[in-house]
Amino acid sequence: MDDEAKAITKAISAGGDMSKEKIAQFNEDIENICTYCLDGPANDVHTRWTCKAFKEDRIKIDAEIAAIPPDLLPYCIQCVVAPAMALDGNSSFWGHQLPDELDDKIKKLLGRNTYLKTPARDGQAQLLKDQALGIAEDDEWSGLNARQFMMKQKEAYGTGSNLDFPKATDIEMLHQGLDQSQGTRLNDDNDKVTDGEDTITLNQFQPDGQGFYDVFGDGSYTTPRNWIAALGGFGLWIPRWPGTLKQTFQFGAIKGLKASSTRMELAGWITSLTLPFKNNYATDNAAVVGKATKMLAAAKKRGRPCSRKRNHPDIF
Ligand SMILES: [Zn+2]
C-alpha cells in the first residue's frame, strides 16, 4: 500500500461510519442535505423511511411496511431496535394510540388485536375470553408491559399452589374405611359413617384387593412460540375418595418462569404421593413412569421409607 492509499484508507476508517449530517456539524464544506433526494436531512433514518429517492424500492420490498406513516414508528424501531411490547390490544405493539383514520390493515400490522373482543365460537370459549379480558383490563396491571405482566402471572419458582387436602373428619373416615377394607371391623357401631348429610355404609368402600384406590393424573403445558407466555398445571381425579363415595379433584398451577410438559406430569404424580392412602396412579406420560420406577426401586433398596409406627398406611 503506497502513502496515498494509506491516507485514503485512514480517511475512510475515521469518517466512514459517520452520517453526512454528523460531519456537517463540524465541517462547513459539508451541507446537511440528503445526497439522493436533495430534500431532507442526510442521515440513515431519513434514507430508510422517508427519502423520496427510495420510495419505489421500499414499496417493492414490502408494500405494507412502506404504507406505514413513519411518524407512527418510534425512533428505536426506525433504527431497527425492538421496544418492550405493550399489554393493551387497542394500541400499537409499543403502546401508542393509533389514529382512527388509519387503515384497519395497518392498525393490525402495528399491533391492534381484537381477538378477546370478537365473539367466541361457543359459550365455553366466550367464558375464557371474558376471563382473559377481565385480567388484561384490570387496573392492577396498568403501567406494566406484556413481559412484566406475564412474569407477575407466572410468579417465582417455588411459589407453589395451595392444595385442598382432606379435613380431619375426612381422614378419620378414611381410616375407618381402610380398616374396613382390610377386613378389620372395629366394632358394630362402625357399620355406618356420616359424610355431611349423607350416611354411608362401610361395606360400600371398594378399593381393589390390596386396598389401593384409583387416582388418575395429568399435567398440561401450553407451548406458544414465546416461552414467556407459556403456562401449565396438573390435576388429579380420584373417582372414589376412601371413606366416602364421592369423587374428588386436586389441581394446581405450576408457577415459575420456565417449565415443561414433563414437569407438569411429575407434579401430578408427586402430589399423588401426598395422598393419605395407597393408590394406583394412572398416567399417560412415559417419562413419569420411567422416573417413578427408578425412584421406587431406589426407595425399595433403602428399605421402607415410612415407618409402620406412624400409625397410618404406608404410601408405598
Ligand atoms: Zn433523501
Name the pLDDT band for 187 (thresholds 50, 70, 90).
Answer: very low
* pLDDT for the residue numbered 182: 47
* pLDDT for the residue numbered 204: 46
Residue 233 resides in a domain: yes
Residue 283 resides in a domain: yes
- Cβ neighbours of 181 (radius 10 Å): 23
* pLDDT for the residue numbered 38: 93
What spacing in Å lies between the alpha carbon of 258 and ligand 1's midpoint? 47
Chain-wide mean pLDDT for the chain?
81
| pTM value > 0.85 | no
* pLDDT for the residue numbered 256: 83
Q: Which residues contact 305 (CB under 8 A, 6 or more apart)?
A: 299, 316
What spacing in Å lies between the alpha carbon of 184 and ligand 1's midpoint? 94
What spacing in Å lies between the alpha carbon of 32 and ligand 1's midpoint? 11
What spacing in Å lies between the alpha carbon of 64 and ligand 1's midpoint? 21
Range with lowest mean pLDDT among 109-113, 135-139, 144-148: 135-139
Residue 289 resides in a domain: yes
- pLDDT of 28-50, one tens digit each? 998 999 999 999 999 889 999 99
Q: Name the more confident of 240 and 201.
A: 240
* pLDDT for the residue numbered 129: 92
What spacing in Å lies between the alpha carbon of 53 and ligand 1's midpoint? 6
- pLDDT of 244-276, one tens digit each? 556 678 888 888 888 888 889 998 998 888 887
Secondary structure (H, E, C), the chain: CCHHHHHHHHHHHHHCCCCHHHHHCCCCCCCCCCCCCCCCCCCHHHHHHCCHHHHHHHHHHCHHHHCCCHHHCCHHHHCCCCCCCCCCCCCCCCCCCCCCCCCHHHHHHCCCCCHHHCCCCCHHHHHHHHHHHHHHCCHHHCCCCHHHHHHHHHCCCCCCCCCCCCCHHHHHHHHHHHHHHCCCCCCHHHHEEEECCEEEEHHHCCCCCCCCEEEEEEEEECCCCCHHHCCEEEEEEECCCCCCCCCEEEEEECCCCCCCHHHHHHHHHHHHHCCCCCEEEECCCHHHHHHHHHHHHHHHHHCCCCCHHHCCCCCC
Residue 223 resides in a domain: yes
Taking a 5 Å cut-off on Cβ, the residues next to ion ligand 1 are 34, 36-37, 40, 51
- pLDDT of 75-86, one tens digit each? 999 988 999 988
- pLDDT of 143-166, one tens digit each? 889 889 888 888 888 787 777 666
What spacing in Å lies between the alpha carbon of 17 and ligand 1's midpoint? 18
* pLDDT for the residue numbered 59: 95
What spacing in Å lies between the alpha carbon of 62 and ligand 1's midpoint? 19
Q: How far apart are CA 173 and CA 244, in angstroms?
A: 8
Residue 228 resides in a domain: yes
What spacing in Å lies between the alpha carbon of 46 and ligand 1's midpoint? 6
* Residue-range definition of the domain harbouring residue 229: 168-310
* pLDDT for the residue numbered 139: 87
- pLDDT of 211-238, one tens digit each? 778 899 999 988 777 788 888 899 999 8
* pLDDT for the residue numbered 208: 62
Q: What is the CATH number of the domain that holds 202?
A: 3.30.420
The number of domains in the chain is 1
Whether pLDDT at 300 is above 70? yes
Q: Name the more confident of 170 and 124.
A: 124
